Structures are given as C-alpha cells and as structure tokens.
A = this chain, B = another copy of it.
Amino acid sequence: SQVFEEISPADFFYRNRDIAGFTNPSRAIFASIRELVENSLDAAELAGVPPDIYVRLTFGEGGSQSGIYKLRVEDNGSGITSRHIPSAFGQVLFGSKYKLKQARGTFGLGGTMAVLYGQITTHKPASIVSSTGSTKIYKYRIMIDIQRNKPIILERKIRINKERWHGTIVNFSLEGDYFRAMPKILEYLKQTALVNPYANITFVDPKGRLYKFMRVTTKMPPPPKETLPHPYGVDVETVKRLIQITRHRNILDFMRTHFHRTSEKIAHKFLEFTGIPKSKNPKNLGPQEIVKLVQMMKRFEEFRPPSASCLSPLGEDLLRVGILKELKPEFTAVCQRKPSTYSGHPFIVETAIAYGGEIPKKGDFIVYRFANRIPLLYDEASDVSFRVIKNMNWRRYKISPDMPIAVLVHICSTKIPYKTVGKEFIADRPEVKREILNGIREAARKLKRFLSKREHVEREKRR
C-alpha cells in the first residue's frame, strides 16, 4: 500500500530545480547571476537611486579546474531589515513582492534558489551583508534547512554604518561551468543595460576580465505604486480573503475600500445591479452568495478600467537611449501602447525596431524580449513575441528579414504571464498578443516612413 510523504517547498524546488532554471552547472551560473542582479535592480529602484551593481565571479579554492566558483553581487539598493535577512535568502516562498505592483521579482524564490543550489553543490554557507542605511550593517552566514524550508543562522555580526551605506552584498560558492555560460551571461548583462540605461553594471569574470556597462542617464521612470485588486481580476478566494480581513461592516464601504477605482457612486450602482442591500455585512455572505458576487463583478460593465499607476513602463525616451547605447543603430522606431488588461491584470507593451548602424545582418530579425525590464534569453521559439514577429506580414512595411534589423518587445505588468518558474518565456495570452502585434506594427510604420524618406533623398541625390 502507498507510503505518503509531504515535502517542503524548498525540497520541491530542490528536487525539481531544473523547473526553476537550475538545470546544469552552466545554466545554474547564469540563473544565479540573473536572480541576484534582478533582486539588486528591484532594490535600487525601491530606494529611488540609479542602480550600481557589481558582479564578481572567481574560481573557488580548487582553482580553474575544479568547477567550483565564488559569486559576489553587491548593490546600492534599499537593503533588507536585519530580522528578515535570513528568510529572504534561506526560505523559499518568502519575499516582499507579493503585491499588486510591477517588480522583477514575483515568486519569492529566486535568491533562495541560488543560495540553495550553491549549498547542494558545495556544502558551503552563504554570506549576506545588508543595511537599509541605518546606523548598523548586518552580516549573516546562513545555510538552508531544505527539508524544513527554514534558514540556519551560523553567524550574525553587526558593525557600525559610518557612511550610512545602504545596499546588499551576497556571497556564496557554487558548482558551475563559466566558459559554457559566458556568452549567455554577457548577453544577459548587455541586454539588462539596454533596458535599464540608468544602471551601472560592472562584471569581473574568473579570468579577471572587467566588463563595464555604464549608465547614460540618471533619469528613471516614475516608480510603480501598489494598487488594489480590480473587480474584473478577482476570484472567490481573493474576495473571501478580503472579507476575512475587512473592518467594514457594510458591503458598500467594503467595495469602496478594497477594490481599485471603485468610488462610492460606482459601488452604489454595482450593489443595485446585484440586488445586495448596501448595509449587508460582508462577513454574513454565504459561500454561494460570494460566488454570485464575483460573477456579478465580471458582468457589471461600469467599473472603471484599471489605471496604470501600478505599472512603470520605460517610456519612449529611455527605451531609445538604451537601444542607442547598446545596439548603436542608425535609426530607432519606438512605440508605447496604452495600458490594457488580461484577466484583470493591467499591462503595457512597449516595442522598438532598430535598423542599420551596428545592427548585424543575420538573415533574420534579431529578437529581443523583455518583461518588467528583465531580458528573456531562452526558449525564443515558444515565446508569444517571437511568434507574433514570425507570423507578421512585414512586406506591407517594405521590411524584410535580410535587412539589419532588431525587434524589441517589452511587456510590463503586475503579473507577467510567464510559462515557467525560470521566467524563460511568455505564454500566449490573446490580449497580450494583440498589443504586441499592434505595437510592432506601429514601430514598423515608423521605420517604413524613414526608409522611404531616405530612399527618396538618395534618388534626389542621384539626379
């Protein structure tokens, strides 16, 4: 007969670490660097400062043949309050990004996965140094109790923070294969610099080579603001949880307080639509009444569409600046679409087409994909953006794949429809697909105009 077991989420992602992107030593080095760099970028933006990020990868004690490396990532971000540092890196499904607000982080998993992978391949602890800019800097040495999904604190030190530094330094050892991973790591850093042109990223590789991606501006997009759930985006579980925590004893105030852009007037109209009396205590709604309430929310057509204040698109200027800095094209067409939603989640698509200059002719378009300012480098063929580009009728715009062209797609959302825990590619959501298609068409129109104008000028010259 069957023998049952329960396992912790750390154990689940330990056993299935390839599902989180830690497939083999080469991929794991890439995954560790990207998870930590994305955490650092989030942290600097949270602190409202242009990010300064230092990544150093060195050979471990066994030297260059042992396959063991040491990874150190330092940032000038918001830092982490002392009591949360061990769990931030020693517990899976623990984090500060479970909010309705655009961020690179979303699962509460990445940083801990990197530390976990290091631990299972080298059995060495990780060291985390952090300060929020207070009078103290905290240093922890931790390991992870994988079966309990809890950090093990081996050491905790405090020192005085004279310069009121704020930031985080993560240091750990891991098995890897840098030489195999190198092209992807460098491509990742370059594309990160492109889509975050206000960031300084410095990388020292195991051979001591220095790569510097310098900022060309200190201008940053306005930060996103946390938002309330939208009536079109909730289900029974979410509404149940809101009812559990609400202090309101009538459903009118409940609707008005807990839902996005739901004024008293709209809440009134909605409750008339449902036939539920305004004074009804939400805690007295029965299970099927809650189901009906949620169904009614989907059918009521007068809720205002979600605002995009929880999003933070790059904007056409910054996108152009980043493309110029890293791709050096002759001409760039950018387009920022209006906010849209899928399944109640707001999103914005930004596209660009870069032509000529240092863009190489590859016989096909070079596709760059970004989500919440994260470059996506794997599984191109499965990604919705790639499919849109493949199936689009480019001849309408007199653009062909043998031209030196790069097509860039950036999606920002409170919930990127990632297909995988490893954030490799984006699922095919009809609303998102439509926005990508229209965004690329708009950019293609601009390029077509530039090319025909240029052709016209050349013809004039030849007369």
Contacts and interface: CB of A to CB of B under 8 A. Distances in A.
A12 B379 contact: no
A217 interface: no
Interface stretch (A265-273, A285-293, A405-413, A440-448): A285-293
Interface residues of A, number: 62
Given A2-B46, A4-B84, A14 B237 contact: yes
A5 B120 contact: no
A216 interface: no
Interface in A393-430: 417-421, 427
A145 B88 CA distance: 25
Contacts of A91: 6
Q: Which of A2, A120, A124, A343 has the most CB of B within 10 A?
A: A2
A23 interface: yes
B123 A2 contact: no
B87 A4 contact: yes
Nearest to A236: B123
Contact of A382 (B24, B80, B94, B382): B382
A38 interface: no
A121 B419 CA distance: 21
Contacts of A6: 87, 91, 93-94, 108
A419 B417 contact: no
A344 interface: no
A122 interface: yes
A91 B12 CA distance: 14
Nearest to A106: B16
A6 B24 CA distance: 28
A279 interface: no
A8 B237 CA distance: 14
A65 interface: no
A235 interface: yes
A146 B240 CA distance: 11
Interface in A1-59: 1-9, 11-12, 14-16, 18-19, 23-24, 46
Given A4-B87, A379-B382, A382-B381, A9 B120 contact: no
Contacts of A419: 18-19, 420
Nearest 4 A/B pairs, CB to CB: A2-B96, A6-B94, A120-B237, A382-B382
